[in-house]
C-alpha cells in the first residue's frame, strides 16, 4: 500500500463544519454505545469513532471508525454499510440540519501509522543516529 501523506483534517474547515462533524461523531458514538444498531457484527465489536469530516456543504459525512483490537475491519465496514440508511435517519433526527448528510465509513489508519513510526524509531540504525545526536549536545 502506498504511503499517504497525512494533513491536518481541520485545515480549511469552517467552524460550522467542525461543529457539525463533532455533533455527528457524538450521535454515531452514542448509537454504538447504546446498542441502537441491531447487527450481529456491530454488536460483537467495540467500535470507536475518532473523527468525522464534513464536506463544505455539509451533505457528506466521512466517518472514521476503528474496531477495538483492530480485527475484522472489513466485516465491520460491511456491517456499517448495511446499516447506513438507519444511521443516516438517526443522524437527521439527532442533529438539527437542513439535510441529512450522506454518510460513508472509513477505517481510521492513524493508529497503524503511529505504530509504524514507533517501530521505526526502535530500529538499530535510528537508535544509533539518535544516540549520536545526544553525544554531540
What integer pLDDT is reported at residue 40 of this predicted model? Answer: 95
Q: Is 27 helix (H, G, I), strand (E, B) or coil?
A: helix
What integer pLDDT is reported at residue 109 of this predicted model? Answer: 79
Residue 86 lies in a domain: yes
What integer pLDDT is reported at residue 3 of this predicted model? Answer: 44
Q: Describe the crossing of helices 84-94 and 15-34 by its angle, rounded to 10 degrees.
A: 120
Residue 111, C-alpha cell as written in the block: 493508529
Residue 127 lies in a domain: no
Low-confidence stretches of the chain (pLDDT < 50) are 1-7, 137
Residue 116 lies in a domain: no
Give the total residue count for the chain: 137
Classify strands 47-54 and 102-107 as parallel, antiparallel or unpaired.
unpaired
Which residue has 505504530 as its cell numbers? 115
pTM value is 0.74
What integer pLDDT is reported at residue 36 of this predicted model? Answer: 95
Neighbours of 120 (CB within 10 A): 10
For 2-25, what is each residue's pLDDT tens digit? Answer: 444 444 556 678 999 999 999 999
Domain total for the chain?
Answer: 1
Residue 70 lies in a domain: yes
Burial zone of 12 (CB within 10 Å; 0-12 exposed, 13-18 middle, 19+ buried): exposed
Residue 54, domain extent: 15-108
What is the domain-level CATH number for residue 19? 3.30.300.20
Residue 133 lies in a domain: no
Amino acid at each position: 500500500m502506498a504511503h499517504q501523506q497525512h494533513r491536518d483534517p481541520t485545515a480549511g474547515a469552517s467552524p460550522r463544519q467542525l461543529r457539525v462533524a463533532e455533533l455527528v461523531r457524538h450521535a454515531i458514538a452514542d448509537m454504538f454505545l447504546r446498542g441502537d444498531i441491531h447487527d450481529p457484527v456491530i454488536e460483537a465489536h467495540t467500535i470507536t469513532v475518532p473523527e468525522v469530516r464534513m464536506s463544505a456543504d455539509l451533505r457528506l459525512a466521512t466517518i472514521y471508525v476503528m474496531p477495538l483490537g483492530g480485527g475484522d475491519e472489513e466485516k465491520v465496514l460491511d456491517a456499517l454499510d448495511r446499516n447506513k440508511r438507519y444511521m443516516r435517519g438517526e443522524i437527521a433526527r439527532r442533529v438539527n440540519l437542513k439535510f441529512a448528510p450522506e454518510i460513508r465509513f472509513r477505517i481510521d489508519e492513524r493508529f497503524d501509522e503511529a505504530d509504524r513510526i514507533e517501530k521505526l524509531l526502535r530500529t538499530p540504525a535510528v537508535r544509533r543516529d539518535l544516540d549520536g545526536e545526544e553525544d554531540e549536545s
